[in-house]
Structures are given as C-alpha cells and as structure tokens.
Structure 1
Amino acid sequence: MVVHTIGANNSLFNQFIAEIRNIDIQKDSLRFRRNLERVGEIFAYEISKTLEFSEKSIQTPLGESLIHLPQSEVVVTSIMRAGLPLHTGLLNYFDGAENAFISAYRKYTDDGEFKINFEYISSPSIEGKVVILADPMLATGSSMELAYKALLSKGTPKHVHVVSVIASEKGVEFVKNNLPKKNTTLWMGAIDQKLNSKSYIVPGCGDAGDLAFGAKLG
C-alpha cells in the first residue's frame, strides 16, 4: 500500500497545514473551513495524476485540439461532519464526481473509553469506480475502517484513495493493516507520532469538527 505525505515536500500546502494547526488562526471558523477546502483541492490535483486518461478531440473557434482527459468514474466520500469542508475542496476539482456521505462518530462511556458508532450512509453504486474516502483526522483509524466496510455494501471499488489532512503513525499503520493492500492508496498531509490518552493526535490540531462548525454537546 502506497502512502503519500504531501507535507513532506516543501510547497504552499505547508502554509495551509500551519494555519490549520495554529491555535490563534483556528479561532476563525471560516478560515479553518477554507483551509481544509484548499488542502482538499491540492489532494484532488495530486490524485488526478493517478487516474486513467484517454485522448479527446475538442473543437475550438479556430480548429481542433487533441487533449488527454480523465475517464475514471469518481465517487467523493466523506465522514461527517468534520469531512464536509475537505469534501468541498475535493469536489471543487472533481466537479463531475458522484458523492457519498457516512455518519460515524465516537461514542464515549462513563469511564472515558469510546467505540466508533456507524449510523448512516448515503451513496451511489461504487462498483468498478474510483472512491476517494476523506476524513480530516486519521487518529486510531477505526472510523476509516468502518467507513470502508460500510461502502462495500454499495459495490466493489476499482481503487480507494484514503485522504486525511493530519494522521497519527498508529492510524496509518492500522489502515495499512486493515484495508486491502492492493488498490488502496493513502494520501496524508502530515503524520504525527503520538496519540494522547483520549486518542487525539498530538500535536494534531484539535477537534476538526468543532473547529469547523462549533462545539457539540455530549
């Protein structure tokens, strides 16, 4: 399974990651959402290079132009609610893609432990299609595995691109061990070493859903 870490190479992408992490800039929810959207656009551009292309003839006012255009059928999939701004960025570039949404969240017990609950999926058929499965934070990897398994009820994808802005080393290893090694590619913005006692990524950026859309109860 190939893992691409976009932030490992110097580019403007790192400026967006820095702002996503920055505790002062995070106070502006609009800015936080926009930065997630912008990194989604960069992920989309990089993923597009891996798709199948075919030559098309385009008629211009002055003649004919032959150009290679993507021919893969793409389904952009996000884990709600934190994944919505990232989804928007991906969709800005894959503007002809189909869309899927999955509701998965941490349900905590009184002793502070949690399990991942799956509630809902809205998806077209993914049979033989390229699926982009996005969640801003890849902490333990359990939500990503659950989302992947939920998608399989809609068909067998041709290829799955897992996209996360910030991941933990543990989460990356979990996904590598629990998703098919063939026809799966991981696209990470940055990979951090640690998870704290509540399984949040350290240094990470905090709760992406709360930062994007406001704090929730319970």
Structure 2
Amino acid sequence: MRLHVADHPLIRHKVTVLRDKNTKSPTFRLLVDELVTLLAYEATRDVRVVEREVETPLTTTTGTAIADPPPIIVPILRAGLGMLDGMTRLLPSAEVGFLGLKRDEETLEAITYANRLPDDLTGRQVFLIDPMLATGGSLVMAIEYVLERGATDVTCVCLLAAPEGIAHVQEKVGDRADVSVVVAQVDEKLNEVGYIVPGLGDAGDRLYGIVDV
C-alpha cells in the first residue's frame, strides 16, 4: 500500500475551513467538492491512458485518451456521495458504482448494507472515495470487496486520515494488490470512540445534516 499526502497551501486552507465547527453545510459541501477536485488531480496521476490521433486546425497529432475499460468511481455511502462530483469533474468518462457501509458504534466494525457494483472488475481501475479514514474498517472492507471481484488497481481518496487507520489498511492489504491511499492531511490520532482528532466531526452529518434511523 502506498500513501500520498497531498500537501498544498490551497488544500491546507480548505481543510482548515472544513474543520471549523461554525462552517455550515452548504459551505461545507462546496469546500468538499473543491477539495476533492484537487485530490483527484493527485489520485489520477497513474490513470491508464492510450495514444489517440486527432486533427487540429493545422495538422494531425498524437495525444492521450483515457483507456478502456474506463475507471470506476465508488463512493462509500453516505458521506462518500459528497465527494462524487469532485471526482467525476476530472474523470467524466468514469463509471460510478455505490457501496453502502456503516459503522457499528459499539464494535466500530463496518457493516455492508448496499452495493451497486459490477460482479467482474477484472482490468478495471477502481477509485474508492470516503471522507474519513478513521479506524480503517470501512475502507478495508471496501478494498476487499473490489479485490474479490478482480480489481488489482485500487486508489482510495480521503479527506483526513488517522495514523491508526492507515496502519490498519497497511496491515490488512499489505502488498497483495496495487493499492494507494491519497489524503489531504494525516491527523493526530483516534479518540476513545473512534473519531479522528482534531478531525472535522462526522462528515456525513456535516454534509447532509443529522438523520435518525
């Protein structure tokens, strides 16, 4: 597993505003969208491409095009939905799948409750998007989910990560596949209930409000 921390002044600025408890949901959503677009630029450095011949107004030249089959972007529901527009803005040809995971607040384990993914992901580049890499349980489950379906090239895009979560992903995934994690910042630690500190709170609630279930 490779870790890339996208250290850039604009990224640090946007993360600071996201952390502010007084930042309202509409502004929070806009900032997440902008931040993910910046992260997507880093995350897609190794996207598969092919040569393509095009005619300019003056001559014929050879350029670059996204290879087939196209990448697939998989937001981890529900908070990952807030990152989807930022990813598809840079990868409009990508397909989109969905994976619903939620955390058991007692065990901190991830539980799958929904999925909309192809049964066969052989040869596909997969981009998993989830704002927070906290305990790592949800991300590991998502990675395992796509690896079992044949994916061998997986990039995880997160806003914040805790050292404990990074270590957990590294331990569980190891070098079995080409897995990368791209994050805006790595925070200090997890607290006793598995939240990232200093963090930004519950990303889903701050994006969409609190929903009682």
Normalising by the residue count of structure 1, what TM-score does the alignment of the two structures yield? 0.89
Displacement after TM superposition at 1:40 (Å): 1.6
Distance 1:113-1:180 versus aligned 2 partners, 3 A rule: closer
| Alignment partner of 1:13 is 2:15 | no
Contact preservation (8 Å) 2:140, 2:173: yes
Structure 2 distance, partners of 1:144, 1:90, is 18
Indicate whether 1:54 and 2:43 are aligned.
no
Partner Cα distance (1:36, 1:64) in 2? 40
Q: Which runs of 5+ in 2 are unaligned?
A: none
Does the CA-based 8 Å contact 1:192-1:202 persist in structure 2?
yes
The answer to whether the aligner puts 1:37 opposite 2:50 as a matched pair is: no
Q: CA deviation at 1:139?
A: 0.5
Give 2:2's aligned residue.
Answer: 2
Q: Which residue of 2 aligns with 1:185?
A: 180
Aligned 1:30-109 pairs, distance under 5 A: 30-71=26-67, 73-108=70-105
Question: What percentage of aligned pairs have identical amino acids?
Answer: 28
In the alignment, residue 25 of structure 2 is paired with which amino acid? Answer: S
Specify the alignment match of 1:131 in structure 2: 126
Shift of 1:173: 0.5
What amino acid is aligned across from residue 37 of structure 1 in structure 2?
A: D
CA contact (8 A) 1:34 1:85 kept: no
Q: 1:47 is aligned with what amino acid?
A: A
SS at match of 2:122: coil
* AA aligned opposite 2:63: I
CA contact (8 A) 1:121 1:150 kept: no
Distance between the aligned counterparts of 1:207 and 1:161, measured in 2?
23
Q: Which runs of 5+ in 1 are unaligned?
A: none
Distance in 2 (CA, whole Å) between partners of 1:157 and 1:115 is 23
| Superposed CA RMSD | 1.7
Measured in 2, the distance between the counterparts of 1:207 and 1:80 equals 13
Matching residue of 1:162? 156
Question: 2 CA distance for matches of 1:113 and 1:149?
Answer: 19
Say if 2:20 is the partner of 1:22: yes
Are the structure 2 counterparts of residues 180 and 122 from structure 1 closer, same or farther at C-alpha, using a change threshold of 3 Å? farther
Query: Which amino acid is 2:3 matched to?
Result: V
Secondary structure at the aligned position of 1:127 is classed as: coil
Does the aligned pair in 1 maintain the 2:108–2:194 contact within 8 Å? no
- Alignment-derived partner of residue 206 in structure 1: 201
8 Å contact kept, 2:127–2:156: yes
Q: 1:114 to 1:56 in 2, by over 3 A?
A: closer
Distance 1:147 1:14 in 2: 27
Instruction: Using the TM superposition, give the Cα deviation of residue 63 of structure 1 relative to its aligned residue in structure 2, in angstroms.
Output: 2.8
Instruction: Give the count of matched residue pairs.
Output: 210
Name the CA distance, whole Å, in 2 between partners of 1:135 and 1:214: 17
Deviation at 1:17, TM superposition (A): 1.1
8 A Cα contact 1:78 1:102, kept in partner: yes
Alignment check: 8 A CA contact 2:109 2:138 kept: no
